[in-house]
Every structure is written in C-alpha cells, then in structure tokens.
Amino acid sequence: MLGDMGADVIKIEEPNLGDETRSWTPFWNEEGTQFLSFNRNKRSLSVNLKEKEAVDIVLGLAAKADVMVESFRAGALDRMGLGYDAVRAVNPGIIYCSVSGYGRTGPMADKPGYDLIIQAYSGLMNLTGEPDGLPLRVGFSLVDLFTGMMAYGSILTALHHRQKTGEGQRIEAALLDGQVATMSYHATGYLATGVEPKRLGSGHPSLVPYQSFPASDGYFILGCANQGLWERLCRGLDRADLLEDPRFSTNTDRVTNRAECVGVLSEIFQTDTVAHWVDVISEAGVPCGPINRVPQVIEDAQVNARNMIVDMPHPRVPNLKVPGSPLKLADTPPSIRRPPPMLGQHNEEILAECGYDREQIEKLRQKGVIGVSDNGS
C-alpha cells in the first residue's frame, strides 16, 4: 500500500531463497502467485544479515529512510544491531514498525505468530462455521491482511506526527491485537451479559434475517438490518402475513425466534432460483446478492469498473493480472510503477546509490554478503 502511494520500498531478503512466499504454490510461469500478490512497487536487496557488512548496509539504508518495517522474532534485530535503539541512533526521525504475532510485550512476546494460529487464538475460528460444525479458518488470510492495514494507518499517522513535531517513533502492529479489536460487539456483548457468543454460520448475533439462504439452484445473501427493511421484504415476497406474526414483530423477536424465522424464509426461497430472488428482493429495496465464486468476482462488471483487477507486466509473467489498490484518492491516486522484483534484482542499483562502486559490490558478492542478482531475463 505504501508503494502504491509512491513510496520507494526496498525489500530486504536473504540471498538464497528470499521471501518464503516465492516458493508457495500455485505458480504462474514458475513465479509464486502469493509473492506476486503482495510485492509490486518494491525493489529487492538480498543480503546475508549474519555478516556484519550486510548489517552495515541495512543500517546505512535505515539512516536515510523515513520508515523501517520488520517482522523478526522479538530481540532478533537487537542482537544483529538493527533494533530500534540502534536505528534511532543513526536516524532519530525514523518511523520503526514492528509486525509480530502477539506484540513485543507480555508473556507471549517471544512466540511466533501466523495467520492461522491467531485466527484460532483470537476466537475468530470459534465464531466461524456452522453451529453444529467445526471451527473454520476464514477463507482469506484476514489476520495478516488486516495487520498490514493497521501498520499502514499507523505509519501514516506517525509520519504526520513527525511532520508536525520532527519526532520519529516506534510502532507495533500485532496480529492478535488486531483480531481482539475486530471482535468488537462480540466482546462487548459478552462483557455486558456474560453470554458467550456462538457460531451462527453466515448469521449475525444481533440481526435476523441477516444471512445466506438456499434457493433452488444455489445460495444468496440477504440483510435486513432494520425494521423497515424487514417490512419491505415481507411485502416484496407477498407475505404480509409475516408482519402480523408475533414471533417476528420486532428484530428482538426475530433474534429470539431465529430458527423459526429462518425456516419460514428458507421454505419460500427454495421454490425458485437465486437470480429470481435477488431480482425480487432488490426490487423491494432490500440489500441482497449472489454468493459469488472467485471467477465471478474477477469478471464482475462492478469490480472492473472500480479498476480492481489490473494488468501488471512482469518479465516472466507478461500477462500478469492482480487485484488493484482499494485506495481511491481523486488527486493522488495509487499507481503500479514496478512489478514484483526478482530476488536481489536491485542489489547493484541500491548499493550504487549507497556509494559502493562495482569493485566493492563484486567483493561483497564473493564474500557472501549479498546474493546473486536475478534480473528476470
């Protein structure tokens, strides 16, 4: 996101395999699609941080940088000489962002964190799935992605603060913190009532009907977020009698009698197709829609009108397409200026900018301080 908005992002990678997502399936022309998804608008510098000269290179970059982002285990960069105190000593205005699983304080600060583990630990999986089914992982890597957005917002806030005061600062973006925060009304409801939230499938704990329903040929989603929408739904379905049913009079009544309300509507909806019910319910002015598969989303007219699937020519994947940026700024829109880099592709370029000549760069390569550059040819 920072790169999309114009930042010169230098990605520090170890020299042999680089970012581990380079090797994750599926592949597109032998390039890992996980890596292709997240690494546009970055330059790659491959260095062996076990070598002091490599640490000096990174510290020199940090001395000139606005922002440094790291996701090492707690204490690892301190031992290398690249912790916050060391970087701040050469650049007092640095914005130093540490991404971690559980945060840099507390009894679990030393533990590694992964999206799946935090989905479980944070309660997200326990609230995802059918009531009588297993706890489920959310389909997207929601924890990782949300944490990245937390970091982005925090970095921009810190840059704004520095612009006003001249002061840099350390930032934390912890996977667990983000998911506890997004638990929101589930946590507040439990604190208020002592009643533990339960899995509701696609349903909502506070609203009915607000979930997926089966039609004769698939499923669609329906959301009655207030009493007015419920009344429109009943009239649109030509079932005004439901408005007189005391079990469904108010939203609170419908939540109390969730199974009965969902059962009545399910019987109605199974009599015709998804397309039919989406048309009928939309015509009534009630939010609803199909439950799209990935191919349908990629080809959707609205998605493409919003420029959310974009071409990104790549030296080894000339027909590469990826999801676009969700940031829509009228005067300073995001842009794609670089495809995801090859491992160490910009070693010479970056080191030359740091004042190294060709002979010095070659010596660093021979000593194993930097990796071999892959220029994509």
Catalytic residue annotation: 144
Cα–Cα distance list, 324 to 43, 304, 315, 331 (Å): 19, 10, 19, 17
> Under a CB-based contact definition with an 8 Å cutoff, are residues 51 and 369 in contact?
yes
Question: Long-range contacts for 234-239 (Cβ within 8 Å, ≥24 apart)?
Answer: 235/284, 236/280, 236/281, 236/283, 236/284, 236/285, 236/286, 237/268, 237/280, 237/281, 237/284, 239/268
Q: Helix, strand, coil: what percent of the chain each, to 5?
A: 40, 15, 45
Dist CA 195 CA 193 (whole Å)? 5
Phi, psi of 245 (to 5 degrees): -75, 120
Helix (H) or strand (E) holding 323: strand 321-323
Dist CA 224 CA 353 (whole Å)? 58
Q: What CA dihedral angle connects 240, 245, 247 and 251, to 10 degrees?
A: 40
Q: Which amino acid is at 137?
A: R
